[in-house]
Structure formats: structure tokens, C-alpha cells
Structure 1
Amino acid sequence: MTALSAEPEPTTPARRELPLSMVERMTLIMDAFGGRSTRLTLEDVARSTHLPRSTAHRILDQLVRLDWLDHTSFGYSLGRRALGLGGRNGSHGEIREAAAPLLHNLQIKTGMVVHLAVLDGSDVFYLDKVGGRFALSVPSRVGGRAPAHSTALGKAILAWLEPEQVEALVGRSISRLTSRTIGDIGTLHQELNRIRQRRGLAFERGECFPNIACVAAAIRGHEGPVASISLVGDARMPLEKVAPLVVDAARQASLAFFPDLDSPRRSRRARSAPDRTWSSESMNRFLTVGQDGDWL
């Protein structure tokens, strides 16, 4: 009898492998989004966390209600609280939702990394990142930041602000990250003027990260730019061929977020936005590359 009572229970260790507390299970789910993907399905989450599908679904619903996650037709993604936005701007989630299918389509068409970002002070704040095989080599992340003047995303937004606003935002913080970064406010104003002449199309090659190039266009509303979309590739990649796709995606996102943007009663500032997509002929006229491949 004594020997029988001393035998260990073989099922005890297996029971302890599954987290028992709600906090542990929520942490497992949130960790599934950290650095590996910006958008996951219910099946992805259940498989990654080893939680029962019904348990994962119940916790995901709670995280969505509390703004830790967003849920769209493309799956679950990091929400307002997870991105560190707090109560600063509740429209960011709406921008992400409006742009999500466009980012997805842009990535499918090009196979390149797609970014969505907003301006936050002198930085751009990454709201979304959709990538292919090249994504791991791009050192950006959802919820991360980069100096606005060093990125195509930031310059695409800054180009539609008043010069005084630009100086107030980035004038004191402007500095070089690489040998190709714009390092003074005067040169930045010249570049922003060129972007306006290209109808809002912004480029950067190796200005934020070496060996990486981007092309971007702003999402614009009644009162000016609210965000921007970019395509990211290798610094040697000819981005002029995909530039019209970025412009078109930004315009569609603008109309999705501001459905009445094309109405006669829209604001004066919004009226200066491009009214139609770029043709190949128009792009060839506007885009010129120097012999050294520099867009500045």
C-alpha cells in the first residue's frame, strides 16, 4: 500500500504546461504579434500559442474590445494601445483599417515591403508594415519611429505643410543618419519643393538606412496630410516603375478615409490634391534620375 501511494502522477507535468491565468494567456497572444507579423488569423494565433481555438478566440475578442488589437477582414493586428498611441489620436486605427486592403494589394503586386506611417513630432511613427521576403532585412517595425526628414514617408507628409510648420517640427532635430541624409533645413526645403513639383511623390535612397530605398506618397484629407504610404526596396532598385502604384494607393486611401474628398465643398487645401492617377507618360516627364542615382 505504501509503495502504491508513493508513485508520482504522470499527468501532473502535462497540466502545468498550459498557462492557467488569464494574464499569462493574454501575454502569449500579444507576444505572437511581436516582430513576427503585423497581421494574424485566429488559426495563426492558436497554432503559435498552443491555446485551444475557442480560448484564443475569446481572448482575442476581449483584446479587440479593449483596443489592444484590431480586427479586419485580413485578420488581427496590433491595436491602438499596443502601438503606444494611447488616447493621442483615435483616428490612427481608422487610417490603418482604411489602408489595410490597399497595403495588401500593393505588396501582392510588387512583392516589396509596404509601410504606413503618420507624423508624430519630428518623427514618423509606423502604423503598419506588410512585407515579403525582403521584410526581415528592413529594420523598421510597427510602433517604431524614424526621423521624418530622413525617410520618404516623412518627406511626403512634410511637403504639404507650411514651411514654418516644417521648421518648428524638424528644424532643431535635423541631423544626419547616413552620409546621404539631408543635414540642414535649407536643403530640406529645396527637397520638399521638388516633391511638390512631382505632385507629392517622395524618394529616398540610403538616407535612413544604408542600402535601402523608398518611394512614398501622402494620404491627404480636407486639412492636409494625415499619413503616408511607401514601398521599400534595395537601394539599387529602379523605383520609378512602381511609383505610380504608390500614388494611386495613397489617393485611394484618401478617398476611403475621406469619402467626400472629391465633393465641390471640400476645403481649399484639399482641392490641390491630384484629381487622377498618374499615367506612364506623366511619370516619365516628372521622374528624372541623375547619373549617380541620387534623387536629391
Structure 2
Amino acid sequence: MTTALDGPHSVMGRVTALLEPFRDAEGLTLSELARRTGFPRSSAHRMLLQLVKVDLVRRNGTTYHLGPKLVELGALAVAHDRVHRAALPAMYDLRRDTGLVAHLAVLEGDSLLYLEKIGGRWSTSLHTRTGERRPAAETVEGAAALAFCEGNDGIAVGGDNIRCVAAAFNAGHGEIAVLSLTGPREHVPDDVGRRVHAAAHAVAAQIAASSLP
């Protein structure tokens, strides 16, 4: 038996589809949203009106943006995430000790979801952001996670001028997470692989210990 909440054509499925295009754009017009989702303009407009009323979407003239309530809930979701909580101190330590940009990501199927980015002077030159999802096979972090899934050590290195070193680890509950450091090749320390691997191992141990009864 299906309900109004089931499937891509349900109310929740349609709302989710309407919000998905904001992953790639800060603001979108009604016409752009209708075109990207395939919804009739009238249907998209009705949903947007309701989302604006509850602060899930914000309207500025003819352009729509993600609303303050979504930003707030997203921040709370990250703050309450056990992997994020465990990894954050290690990320700040890595950033402080190396000066490189630290990332935390989790593997979700064939994609990689970035949970955190702690940057330095090179942060703006790296086109990654918290909440971004990328195909795992197209990222160094994804390569590390996929290697870990196959029983390898989960270490991956990539990039020419911009170097990325990533280490995957078991985050419990069947989840694979990745820590990485990225920066200009000439500024990447020789022992960065050891540092990232040690940090990933420590975070995994902390998560495992916190799961014990």
C-alpha cells in the first residue's frame, strides 16, 4: 500500500526534487526551477509559495534561495553527526600542523558527501564545499574510500600542482569516512600521508570506543 509520502511523485518526493537544483546554484528563478525539475511552472510556483511560508525557501525579487530554516537544520545535522564530532578536533590539528586544507567526507553508494572543510590560505582556490556531493570515482577521497571497501589500506594520493592525500577509515554502522589534506604540491610535507593515516586511525578508534556499551 502506498501513501502520500511514498515515491518520487509523492509530496515529499516532489519537494525534494524541487530543492535538489540548489546544490549547483545559489539562487534560481521560477522558470529555471521548472526547467530543471520538469515541473509545470504553476506546480513549482505553488510548492515554492508553501516553502517560503515555512522559511525552507527564501525569495528575493524573482530569485529563490534556500531558506534560513534549511540552513539551520543542515548545520544541526552536521553538528549532531557522530563522525563529524569525532573527526573535527583531528581536522583542526591537521590544519594547524600542516597549513593545508582538511576535508572530511563519507561514502554513500557511488558518491562522496563532504561533511566538513577546514581551510587556510588555499581554501578559496579549492572548489569544494560542505554538503557537496561528487562521484566517488572522480575524487582522491573517493578513491581512498573505494580502495578501503576492497580491503586495501585506503590511502590515495592525487593531483599535480594541487596535491591531495586521503585516508579512509571505518566509521561504524557500515559507514566509510575519509580524511584528507590538500594544498599546493610544494607546500605538502613529505610525511603528510603518515599524518593523515594516523589521524584517520585515531578517529576510527574513538568512534569504535564511543559505540561500546
TM-score (norm. length: structure 1): 0.44
Q: CA deviation at 1:201?
A: 1.8
**Among 125, 131, 134, which residue is 1:146 paired with?**
134
Deviation for aligned residue 1:121: 2.7
Partner of 2:157: 203
Query: Retained in 1: the 8 A contact 2:171–2:177?
Result: no
Counterpart residue identity of residue 154, structure 1: G
Structure 2 letter corresponding to 1:259? A
Q: Which of the numbers 259, 263, 267 marks the counterpart of 2:209?
A: 259
Quick one: structure 1 residues 234 and 200, their matched pair in 2 at CA, closer, same or farther if it must change by over 3 Å? same
Letter in 1 for 2:106: V
Aligned partner of 2:113 in structure 1 is: 125
Residue aligning to 2:96: 108
Matching residue of 1:227: 177
Counterpart residue type for residue 217 of structure 1: A
Q: Which amino acid aligns with 1:93?
A: D
Distance change (3 Å), C-alpha of 1:252 and 1:143: same
Identify if the C-alpha distance between structure 1 residues 139 and 221 changes in structure 2 by more than 3 Å, giving closer, same or farther: closer
| Deviation readout 1:8-35 (Å, 9 max, x if unpaired) | xxxxxxxxxxxxxx978x97xxxxxxxx
- The answer to whether 1:245 aligns with 2:195 is yes
Structure 2: gaps (5+ residues): 1-52, 59-67
Unaligned 5+ segments in structure 1 are 1-21, 28-59, 71-78, 81-90, 163-192, 264-296
How far 1:248 moved relative to its partner?
Answer: 1.1
The SS at the match of 1:133 is: coil
Distance 1:257 1:230, change over 3 A: same
Q: Which of the pair is proportionally richer in strand? A: 2
- Equivalenced residue count is 151
* Structure-2 change in CA distance of 1:108 and 1:23 (3 Å): farther
TM-score (norm 2): 0.59
Task: Please identify which structure carries the higher helix content.
Answer: 2
Instruction: Supply the AA of the counterpart residue of 1:204.
Output: G
* Counterparts of 2:126 and 2:70, CA distance in 1: 28
Partners in 2 of 1:224 and 1:251 — Cα distance?
Answer: 16
Matches within 5 A, 1:268-279: none
Maintained 8 Å contact 2:103/2:118: yes
Q: Which of structure 1's runs of 4+ aligned residues deviate more than 4 A? A: 221-225, 236-239
In the other structure, the counterpart of 2:75 is 69
Q: Does residue 159 of structure 1 match 2:185?
A: no
User: CA offsets per residue over residues 129-155 of structure 1, 9 Å max, x none?
Assistant: 001111011110001122212322111
C-alpha spacing 1:260/1:157, structure 2 compared with 1 (3 Å): same
